[in-house]
Amino acid sequence: MATIKRSAKRLAIGIAAVAAAAASLTSCSASEGAGSSDTFTILQYENPESAQGQGWQLALEIFKKKHPDVKVDYQTTSFDAMRQNAKITLTGDKVPDVIEFNKGNADGGQLAGQGLLTPLDEQVEEYGWDSKITGGMQAFAKYNEQGLAGDGEWYGVPNIGEYVMFYYNKELFAEAGVEEPTTLAEFEARMDKLIAAGVTPISSSASTSQGFNQMWVWYSLVAAEADRTTIDDFMFLREPVDFSAAPWKSGAERFQSWIDKGYVGEELGGLNFEQATVNFLSGDKAMLIWNQGEFARIREQATFDWGYFTLPGANMQMGSSGHLWGVPANAKNKDLAYDWIDITLSQEVQNKIGQLGGLPLAGDASTIEDDLTREYTEKFNALLEADSLAFYPDYPVPGFLDFIQSNMQAMSNRNETADEWTAKLQKFYDEGRDAAIAG
């Protein structure tokens, strides 16, 4: 009963918070996000060509066979559109039955804290999802009454894990006379040789709209020097963070030096992550920093011999659970939503995702036939077992992703120094942290 009362209170707060904005913000189309009792509506934003997207197509086939009398409306939006319009999409009577949403305090935490999502503790126990989603993969599935991640009730269910690595063109490496590095110093020396050979080492991006690559380069360099406590204090707002000290200061300074040395290329402000991937696949740039989301695509589309490695010599590596399935508080078909989530965690779907390099949380890595894909998956499992995933930097406070991307663009354009960046970071983070803790 206490849970119901808390949820009702949060729902009232959430509706009040978004009602004024609803008239002025542009949301999804009239049909997008609209659900009815005789139509089961799924709203997600994965690329259908990705391992996860292909796995969910299999889940859709299974769901339709299991529920032949149910009309299914499988809708695809974009990551940015979902983030920007989530509160409005989930407010009112016509909402999707199950949605994919971004994890972390800045996004999922706000939806949970404002009562726009259904608590899932009973379903987690009933279906045994907590036996499939374990350890650090649970961190962003749970949110407390303030919408802070790390504990509280389950509001989301991930199906995959993620970790960030450098995909690399083995042919360009060989032409420049370099091999895969084993330390950070070796990595920088290898990039110097690539530049001397006329090759841009890293294909990157710094657009303020999905120019994620530079953010990942910066945060990878911070995580390289960090430990579990440093990351958790920052991520879960546990203790104040001093961004003028290591690893934040030293990571930003190294990031600035990589920009100055040309390691990440030039004129990145107008590039997004898709363009960075295309530039890597063209064969002109030696590496691409990305996660498992492009593994299947690179395997299919690369016309050169390629491999991958995580940032060498790093204490922590960027990675996390994947985006979350959630059930809107006002969904009409909640039981079907729970069944959909359970199907996406089934062995059949999870192993399909695994075969394509999607890092399933409930799959069996030993069933993966391709050696490279199996080794790639086992590497993730080892990082998870070692508890060395640093998550992603935009999770802690509202508005953080847009703020970080704006400043990554400024640094990449050489309009902002490392010291200026960390000073701005300190102010924005502290204000957001204070507001989040205050509730």
Residue 77 has which token pair? Answer: 């939006």
pLDDT at 180: 96
Task: Mention every residue, 6+ apart, whose C-beta is less than 8 A from residue 54.
Answer: 48, 296, 352, 353, 356
Q: Give the residue extent of every domain in the chain.
A: 2-162+322-382, 174-317+397-438
Kindly tell me if the per-residue pLDDT of 357 is higher than 80. Answer: yes
User: How would DSSP label each residue in 128-166?
Assistant: TGGGTS-GGGGTTTEE-TT--BTSSEE--EE-BEEE-EE
Architecture of domain 2-162+322-382: 3-Layer(aba) Sandwich (3.40)
How far apart (Å, rounded) are the C-alpha atoms in residues 382 and 7?
37
In the prediction, which pLDDT does 38 show? 83
Chain-wide mean pLDDT for the chain? 91
With cut-offs at 50, 70 and 90, classify the pLDDT of residue 438. Answer: confident
> Dihedral of CA 341/342/345/346: which sign?
negative
- Which pLDDT score is estimated for 282? 97
What pLDDT, in 10s, does the model give residues 71-92?
A: 999 999 999 899 889 999 999 8
Q: How far apart are CA 110 and CA 116, in angstroms?
A: 9
pLDDT at position 4: 35
At the topology level, CATH places domain 174-317+397-438 in: D-Maltodextrin-Binding Protein; domain 2 (3.40.190)
- What's the pLDDT score for residue 21? 37
Distances 309 to 128, 167, 372 between C-alpha atoms, Å: 34, 7, 12
pLDDT reading at 32 higher than 80 = no
If you average pLDDT over residues 381-400, what whole number do you get? Answer: 94
Percentage of the chain beyond pLDDT 70 is 92
- The residues, ordered by sequence, that sit 6+ positions from 359 with a Cβ below 8 Å of its Cβ are 160, 161, 162, 163, 292, 322, 353, 376, 377, 380
368: Cα separation from own chain's centroid: 24
Is the confidence at residue 398, as pLDDT, over 60? yes
Please give the Cα distance from 280 to 284 (Å, whole number): 6
Number of residues in the chain = 439
Predicted confidence (pLDDT) at residue 231 exceeds the cutoff of 60: yes
Q: How many CB atoms lie within 10 A of CB 264?
A: 25
* pLDDT at 15 exceeding the cut of 50: no
Predicted pLDDT of residue 37: 66
Judge whether residue 35 has pLDDT over 60.
Answer: no
Residue 66 C-alpha from the chain's centroid: 30
pLDDT band at 36; cut points 50, 70, 90: low
Q: Where residue 31 falls among pLDDT bands split at 50, 70, 90?
A: very low
**Percent of residues, the chain, with pLDDT higher than 90:** 85
Name the packing angle between helices 418-438 and 400-412 (round to 10°).
Answer: 180
Helix axes 347-355, 51-66, angle to 10 degrees: 160
pLDDT band at residue 54, thresholds of 50, 70 and 90?
Answer: very high
Q: What is the mean pLDDT of residues 253-277?
A: 97
Task: Give 302's pLDDT tier (boundaries 50, 70, 90).
Answer: very high
Question: How far, in Å, CA of 166 to CA of 195, rounded?
Answer: 17
Give mean pLDDT, residues 99-126: 95
pLDDT digits (tens, 9 = 90+) for 168-182: 999 999 999 999 999
Q: Do domains 2-162+322-382 and 174-317+397-438 have the same CATH topology?
A: yes
